[in-house]
Structure 1
């Protein structure tokens, strides 16, 4: 008699509470679709002759805030709430500590976008929910820093970036509540890029990428001296300071050393010989960082020579879409495969997402030089949905399902 194959349990939202990355990555995946659907619709409406609500806050600034303080931090907190205890040899974090982070960041973004669509109070409600989620995350991670026996500098670097992010969030809050001038919103956006996201991405890459390569490529020697981070931090803060005072003609003073530093890191880290695709995409995504700094430096030097801001937002979007976007796909896929009991291999849908988001990045950079850039901006925003939609559907189902190997977590 043939036995019937076991029936897999149906997806359940309750499984999101089984591990920090499950909840926060699910929130982040949902936030990607919501954030880019609104932005694509807002950009496309004028070209389609359609009326679309205009938020009380400038839409471009609101887009930057949502992406830097709600969408990407959902993934960042999911990763750090999982890895901090493991880096430090401490017990895993209880669900009652990380659940408020996910609720705050998801509810905060939903309310914010409802505010952008006409429910004006949603902008304030969403901001307070986001602040609550951030506060819960910081309050959970901070005690781990003084409970560990030694000093995990990668954890301290990430926490310093999250603290700067909290300062940027406070600046945005002051602006939205009418307590500060628009310059505070501008500073918040710049702080989100060079004080929060870049330091976190660089720190995680420094900690994890050589480690992953050493585990997958025979004979690979991990190279990750801490002086790389010690040099990167002041250079990033120098670029930030120059942008805050609108000294764009002088950012090359930080951009050229950052170009040299990140190129050296990519060269030393890149594994020679055969390597799995899941590892290759990490370094291919990292390659966008020296490209971004090359564009920043070129922009700055050209402005110093001619006074023209010739490349517009092209350097920023090489960073946002190319570096942040492609590494989001690469790193989240890696963590999802490993923590769901699946093989450490690159699924086809993830390969599609990675290639597609790189195409989107190239198009967004080229859009700055197009005769009708706003039309291209709308197409590129929709491109995020086309590129990441199938991948998000897959990983979301994984977070709602039991581990493939039957283990807890």
Structure 2
């Protein structure tokens, strides 16, 4: 009896060399390793704080966490996807994975150096120097990958290059923000790092996600999703650009706060209306579509929560703290990441393109982690620590389980016997 494609051939051994057989294998494996490592690092930091242990920090924990979660693993996931799907979008010759190895390793080594610098002991100058060197390595690595992708754009004669151009533009913003973060840390202006990381979450990560999703809608089933016209790219570009600029400039006048709160509320309602259209008129029975749908719901809720939070702040009341940010990052970006990478990994490993039971359980554990993190942001500070630790532990478990599951696939031959 032939082996089932979902399971692969018995006796096959995982080999690191296979990561160089396709760009998605290399990029996704590096990103997942960094994702799991950073999630476990943060879970341990939260547990240590809960137990009253004081770790050495050369940056505030929030700043270090924000940088790593916004500019750490995301560019590597993007690289794995773009150098797999990009050549097909652009009808040009794909690059071998080996051509991406140096900039990928530069980012991994850079973040390792950054983490060492954060906990480098009582010498803040040493920590700042090591940390800035680490961010320079990361910025150099992502800039190198972006230059290679821009080369595909330059070589393409395809008439429709809009999605690739927007993604490249978002990537350029990400590179600029990374270089700016390295300069800010080197010059002792660490207070700017949070604004840079939050700007990247919208203008770099968010815009890349929504553009790729817009392009990939037909591949998830044209009968189950709204037509691309329901997702006007200009509107998304304006929304995510506005959010990125707001995070970077952080204006504080009440008039601007009320204006921005109104825009966010309107945008959130529009996104939720689109999500409702899906639920009412289209089938969401396929699990991958449910994952995408709930990710979109989280985006709408994040915008509404942020608008409400800014309205409360403008009115002199207590804001919602970090609840809107985590609804966006863990809820929207996290849900879409699991769905998109799961789909690409399944299809390119010769398996059925479905969310199987393992991915489905991990997805719902992620939703629980999001709810715990939002609860921690909304309760009194004295009661937040246990919720923070629980959310961090659950997030770490999801990331580790997801990495172990798909990491095995990336080091095995295709289950259907076809070449990569």
TM-score by length of 1: 0.90
2:48 matched residue in structure 1: 45
Q: CA deviation at 1:172?
A: 0.5
Q: CA deviation at 1:227?
A: 7.1
1:301 matched residue in structure 2: 311
- 8 Å contact from structure 1 (residues 341, 407) kept in 2: yes
- 8 Å contact from structure 1 (residues 168, 187) kept in 2: no
1:96-135 pair list within 5 angstroms: 96-118=98-120, 120=127, 122-135=130-143
* Among 192, 216, 225, the residue aligned to 2:200: 192
* Among 360, 363, 377, the residue aligned to 2:372: 363
1:60 matched residue in structure 2: 62
Q: Which of 1 and 2 has higher RCO (CA within 8 Å, sep 6+)?
A: 2
Q: CA separation in 1, counterparts of 2:265 and 2:52?
A: 44
Q: 1:142 to 1:268 in 2, by over 3 A?
A: farther
Query: How far does the alpha carbon of each residue in 1:217-245 deviate from its partner, in whole angstroms, 9 at most, with x for none?
Result: 4xx57511397121222232223333423
Q: CA deviation at 1:33?
A: 1.5
1:168 matched residue in structure 2: 177
Q: CA deviation at 1:182?
A: 3.7
1:403 matched residue in structure 2: 414
Consecutive unaligned residues of structure 1, counting only runs of 5 or more, are: none
Q: CA separation in 2, counterparts of 1:82 and 1:95?
A: 10
Q: CA separation in 2, counterparts of 1:41 and 1:7?
A: 37
Q: CA deviation at 1:368?
A: 1.2
Query: How far does the alpha carbon of each residue in 1:143-192 deviate from its partner, in whole angstroms, 9 at most, with x for none?
Result: 222222224111111111111111111111111111x6345323312221
Where 1:146 maps in the other structure, the secondary structure is helix
* Among 301, 305, 308, the residue aligned to 1:291: 301
1:36 matched residue in structure 2: 39
Instruction: Indicate yes or no: 2:8 matched with 1:8.
Output: no
Where 1:225 maps in the other structure, the secondary structure is helix
1:316 matched residue in structure 2: 325
- 8 Å contact from structure 2 (residues 203, 243) kept in 1: no
Consecutive unaligned residues of structure 2, counting only runs of 5 or more, are: 1-7, 122-126
Where 2:355 maps in the other structure, the secondary structure is coil
Q: CA separation in 2, counterparts of 1:151 and 1:343?
A: 29
Q: CA separation in 1, counterparts of 2:101 and 2:215?
A: 26
* Among 224, 235, 238, the residue aligned to 1:234: 238
1:112-261 pair list within 5 angstroms: 112-118=114-120, 120=127, 122-149=130-157, 150-178=159-187, 181-214=189-222, 217=223, 220=224, 222-225=226-229, 228-243=232-247, 244-247=249-252, 248-261=257-270
Where 1:172 maps in the other structure, the secondary structure is helix
Q: 1:146 to 1:322 in 2, by over 3 A?
A: same
1:276 matched residue in structure 2: 286
1:349 matched residue in structure 2: 358
Q: CA deviation at 1:23?
A: 0.9
Instruction: Indicate yes or no: 2:336 matched with 1:327.
Output: yes
Where 2:232 maps in the other structure, the secondary structure is helix
Q: Which runs of 4+ in 1 moved over 6 A?
A: none
Q: 1:185 to 1:332 in 2, by over 3 A?
A: same
Q: 1:408 to 1:134 in 2, by over 3 A?
A: same
- 8 Å contact from structure 2 (residues 20, 97) kept in 1: yes
Q: CA deviation at 1:264?
A: 4.2
Q: Cα RMSD over matched residues? A: 2.2
2:5 matched residue in structure 1: none
